[in-house]
């Protein structure tokens, strides 16, 4: 079992959010709008992720963007005309919503240029980050504000001067969709030492059922490693491959640790998961939740009648249920 060192003074201040993807899974919505701007209830997905960084004390946020991403810059900038109009009307609540994202963080931008993969996107942050450890947050995952993950990751990274990724235990059949870690325990039940990593392995080759969720705390040495990392899965420069180099590398590089997340995570990466995320978040909201929940219960109660006999329903608790004539 690996013994963890105690916490060092807080030094990490920067977050990097790759946001250059084309979002083709959401076409046509993403033809002229970045996928990061898709609303999750009434707030763009990217705002939840920037908020998460800020909540963990990272106020310096670098978005790695690409073509067609101007809406992101506008969202985190002043909107003078809109503000003036709301001021004239005395609409204080809406004005506060407009100003909130402007004041949320100190947001910077760099463009990725060629879409050469997540590792390449992170490498584009080199100039801004300099010689400091930093966090990377992927926009397809939203972590519930009530279940802080990044704060714990920063504690481990700063205490150990190490690299940390967020891990989640999933059904083994799902491992082929993610980076997967081989792990051994430490004296903290929420932290594991990572002994190997592989990007999107075949189910039979996965070293465990611990997948990487899109949260990382990286040491600046990752940039040199990424420079040398050859294209991997999908012909792209994979961050997972660079992390594998670290995990297998000398102890002087600090190794790689995983914080096991057991809280609420909302996947907004594909259409079905996006819909589920919106329903779960809306049902929990103080303002919309009560009305939405009662509508949802009555809507769900009459749903099976609308599904043709012979179709199969999926119930996460009981598995699949074939629909039969009542
Ligand atoms: C990326 C990473 C993968 C990680 C995943 C988390 O994959 O390459 O290791 O598990 O994010 O969402 P992507 O989903 O971008 O294909």
**Can you list the positions of beta strands (E) in the chain?**
14-18, 39-40, 43-44, 60-65, 106-111, 134-137, 141-143, 163-169, 179-185, 191-199, 210-218, 256-260, 265-267, 312-315, 319-322
**Residue 302 alpha carbon to ligand 1 centre in Å:** 37
Measured distance CA(168)–CA(212) in Å, rounded? 7
Distance 178 CA to ligand 1 centre (A): 5
Peptide bond into 28 cis (omega under 30): yes
Q: What phi-psi label fits residue 106: left (phi over 0), alpha (psi between -120 and 50 degrees) or beta?
A: beta
Nearest atom within ligand 1 for CA of residue 240: 9
Give the nearest ligand 1 atom to 214 CA: 6
Is the beta carbon of 210 within 6 A of some atom in ligand 1? Answer: no
109 and 63 in contact (C-beta within 8 Å)?
A: yes
Query: How far, in Å, from the CA of 179 to the mean position of ligand 1?
Result: 6
pTM of the model: 0.90
Output the CA 296–ligand 1 centroid distance in Å.
Answer: 32
> What is residue 214's three-state secondary structure?
strand
119, 223 Cβ separation under 8 angstroms: no
List of residues 6+ apart from 138 with CB closer than 8 A = 17, 18, 118, 214, 215
Alpha carbon distance 244, 253 (integer Å): 12
Task: Kindly report the length of the chain.
Answer: 326
List per-residue pLDDT tens for the chain, 326 residues long.
777 765 555 689 999 999 998 889 999 999 999 999 999 999 999 999 999 999 999 999 999 999 888 999 999 999 999 999 999 999 999 999 999 999 999 999 999 988 899 999 999 999 999 999 999 999 999 999 999 999 999 999 999 899 999 999 999 999 999 999 999 999 999 999 999 999 999 999 999 999 999 999 999 999 999 999 999 999 999 999 999 999 998 888 889 999 999 999 999 989 999 999 999 999 999 999 999 999 999 999 988 766 665 565 555 544 555 555 54
Q: Whose CA is nearest to atom 11 of ligand 1?
A: 214
pLDDT in tens, 115-124: 899 999 999 9
């Amino acid at each position: 079992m690996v013994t963890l060192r105690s916490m060092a003074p807080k030094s990490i201040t920067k977050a990097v959010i790759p946001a250059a993807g084309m979002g083709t899974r959401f076409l046509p919505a993403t033809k002229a709008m970045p996928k990061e701007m898709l609303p999750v209830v009434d707030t763009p997905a990217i705002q939840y992720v920037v908020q998460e960084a800020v909540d963990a004390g990272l106020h310096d946020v670098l978005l790695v963007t690409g073509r067609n991403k101007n809406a992101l810059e506008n969202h985190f900038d002043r909107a003078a005309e809109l503000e003036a109009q709301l001021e004239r009307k005395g609409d204080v609540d809406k004005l506060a919503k407009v100003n909130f994202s402007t004041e949320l963080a100190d947001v910077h931008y760099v463009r990725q240029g060629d879409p050469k993969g997540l590792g390449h996107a992170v490498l584009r942050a080199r100039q801004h980050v300099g010689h400091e450890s930093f966090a990377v947050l992927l926009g397809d995952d939203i972590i519930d504000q009530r279940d802080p993950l990044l704060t714990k990751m920063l504690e481990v990274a700063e205490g150990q001067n190490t690299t940390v990724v967020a891990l989640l235990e999933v059904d083994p059949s799902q491992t082929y969709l993610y980076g997967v870690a081989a792990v051994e325990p430490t004296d903290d039940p929420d932290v594991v030492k990572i002994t190997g990593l592989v990007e999107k392995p075949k189910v039979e080759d996965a070293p465990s059922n611990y997948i990487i969720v899109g949260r990382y705390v990286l040491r600046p040495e990752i940039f040199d490693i990424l420079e040398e990392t050859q294209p991997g899965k999908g012909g792209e420069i994979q961050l997972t491959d660079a992390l594998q180099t670290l995990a297998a590398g000398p102890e002087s590089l600090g190794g790689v640790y995983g914080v096991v997340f057991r809280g609420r995570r909302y996947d907004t990466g594909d259409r079905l998961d996006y819909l589920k995320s919106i329903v779960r978040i809306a049902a929990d909201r103080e303002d919309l939740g009560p009305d939405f929940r009662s509508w949802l219960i009555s809507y769900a109660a009459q749903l099976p009648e609308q599904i043709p006999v012979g179709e199969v329903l999926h119930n996460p608790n009981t598995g699949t249920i074939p629909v039969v004539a009542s």
